[in-house]
Amino acid sequence: CVSKDTDVLLTVAPYACQRQTPLTHQNSEIIDALEKLGKAAALRGSEVRSLAFTRAASVLKSLPIRLQSADQAKNLPFCGGHCQTVIQEILEDGVCHEVEALQTNEQYQCMELLTSIFGVGVHTAERWYKDGVRKLSDLDDPNIKLTADQRAGVTHYTDLQRPVTREKADRVQHLIKNALHRFVPDLEVTMTGGFRRGKQQGHDVDFLITHPDGEALSGLLKKAVDWMDSQGLLLYHHTRVRSRVQAHRRNVPMDGHETCYAIVALPNLDTSKAGAGVGSDVTFPGARAWRAVRVDLVVTPYDEYAFALLGWTGSKHFERELRRFSWHEKNLSLNSHGLYSTEKQCSIPATSEEEIFALLGLQYVPPQYRNA
């Protein structure tokens, strides 16, 4: 039995961290459908189903060719079963019926709206939905308690929904560096997240901050944030200081670094309207001299910098796959603080992303190919 050409050609490594995933790909319609179904599953609380769709979509993102048939994909990792139906429908009809049905699914639409608010997760959205919340204005009800994050998220909802362009991200970077360098002139500030992966727009701007001298970092975030606040540059901030416990525990799941989730008032380039400062004209956006932009600031000790850089560059799925690979294939625990061998009970240091990939026995994947 001779296999068809296509069967031979289409091979994809099982873990996203073992392959290159560029920003643009050949099968966008199929990938969009799979990602929508993945999101719908997550909004229903089915994490396992959601992950299955996310994995299938990610595999197709690394394919160098446009699929001609569902059959061509059937032996690719995670692309069997349900995924086959989705591919077939898109290729034959141009639409997937399950995805179409989501457009008229009130619960899905509502959950999508509510979880798009800064500070609102699936759990909160579900509770609100059960309590009858259907649109943003329903949240004005005094019986609904909002956290400070959520309050800010609702207040600046329209601005935060608009994608942040690279040009705006660069201006945010300038503003953030200016604030930080007032306190430590030679501080290292790196833009991470989607922009480091080459995206042209994002939902926020992420920064990683470090310095070889740990003393220079002590109390820095608070000082810089307070200064920006005093200048009217901050619409909201939530600064989380690293606790002693977290600081000494290596295998915390996500992040124990000193972190600031902020909403910056980015001044508009058109200065003719300057003078209308923060809070002056919230009800007339056209007259405002600024626009709200979500910013994440993370401070990392110098010896953890490479791990933090790798951990905050993403994509989220790439990170999840790196950790899964480390754990299941190498018996090592990886997070944004370090690499830990549970067997030998010691952490393994590294000073660059290249070194971390090498320690894991992986070929280096540059940021622009981590769009899994």
Q: How far is the CB of 183 from ligand TTP (least distance, A)?
A: 24
Least distance from ligand TTP to the Cβ atom of residue 304, Å: 12
Binder of ligand TTP out of 236, 312, 325, 340 (CB under 6 A):
312
Residue with Cβ nearer ligand TTP (82 or 323): 323
Identify what 337 binds: ligand TTP, Mn ion, none; CB under 5 to 8 Å per kind: Mn ion
> Which of 221, 227, 229 shows the shortest CA–CA distance to 298?
221
CB of 122 to ligand TTP, least distance (A): 15
Select from 20-28, 41-49, 104-112, 306-314 the region that touches ligand TTP (CB under 6 A).
306-314
Rounded CA-CA distance 111/108 in Å is 5
State how far the alpha carbon of 257 is from the alpha carbons of 207, 217, 331, in Å.
12, 12, 24
Stretch that binds ligand TTP, among 35-43, 197-205, 208-216, 274-282 (CB under 6 A): 197-205
Q: Give catalytic status of residue 204 as yes or no.
A: yes
Distance CA 44, CA 111 (A): 9
**Site for ligand TTP (CB under 6 A): which residue of 35, 204, 258, 321?**
204
Among the listed residues 93, 206, 226, 229, the single catalytic one is 206
What is the closest distance, in whole angstroms, from the C-beta atom of residue 338 to Mn ion in the complex? 7
Instruction: Strand 258-267: give its sheet, edge to edge.
Output: 188-191, 205-210, 290-299, 258-267, 234-240
The residues, any chain, with a CB within 8 Å of residue 189's CB and separated by 6 or more, are 173, 176, 177, 180, 207, 208, 209
Cα 165 to Cα 266: distance, rounded to the nearest angstrom: 12
Binding span for ligand TTP by CB under 6 A among 29-37, 179-187, 196-204, 242-250: 196-204
Please identify, using beta-carbon distances, which residue of 159 and 255 lies nearer to ligand TTP. 255
Site for ligand TTP in 332-361 (CB under 6 A): 336
**Dist CA 206 CA 195 (whole Å):** 8
Q: Check whether 255 is labelled as a binding-site residue.
A: no
Q: Does 229 participate in catalysis according to the annotation?
A: no
* Buried/exposed code over 144-157 (b: 16+ C-beta within 10 A; e: otherwise): eebeebbbbbbbbb
Q: Is 316 in the site for ligand TTP (CB under 6 A)?
A: yes
Piece of 41-49, 130-138, 307-315, 321-329 that binds ligand TTP (CB under 6 A): 307-315
From 71, 138, 296, 303, active-site residue: 296
Q: Which is nearer to Mn ion, 68 or 161 (CB)?
A: 161
Torsion of CA 243, 249, 255, 261, to 10 degrees: 10
Is 296 annotated to bind a ligand? Reply is yes
Report the distance separating Cα 150 and Cα 125, nearest Å.
11
Candidate residues 151, 203, 273, 330; the one interacting with ligand TTP per rule CB under 6 A = 203
How far is CA 124 from each of CA 70, 118, 131, 170, 256, rounded to the nearest angstrom? 38, 12, 11, 33, 23
Cα–Cα distance measured from residue 245 to residue 337, given in angstroms and rounded to the nearest whole number: 13
Compute CA 351 distance to the chain's CA centroid, rounded to the nearest angstrom: 24
**Residue 226 annotated as part of some ligand binding site:** no
E strands, 247-306, where? 258-267, 290-299
Residue 10 beta carbon to ligand TTP: minimum distance, rounded to whole angstroms: 27
Which residue type is seen at 338?
A: G
Q: Which lies closer to Mn ion via its Cβ, residue 202 or residue 311?
A: 202
Q: Should residue 255 be labelled a site residue for ligand TTP when binding is judged by CB under 6 A? A: yes
Taking the C-alpha atoms of residue 307 and residue 41, their distance in angstroms, rounded to an integer, is 31
Nearer to Mn ion, 149 or 296 (CB): 296
Query: Which positions are annotated as active-site residues?
Result: 204, 206, 296
Annotated binding site for Mg(2+): 204, 206, 296
Annotated binding site: 204, 206, 296
Interaction site with ligand TTP (CB under 6 A): 193-194, 199, 202-204, 206, 254-255, 311-312, 314-316, 319, 336
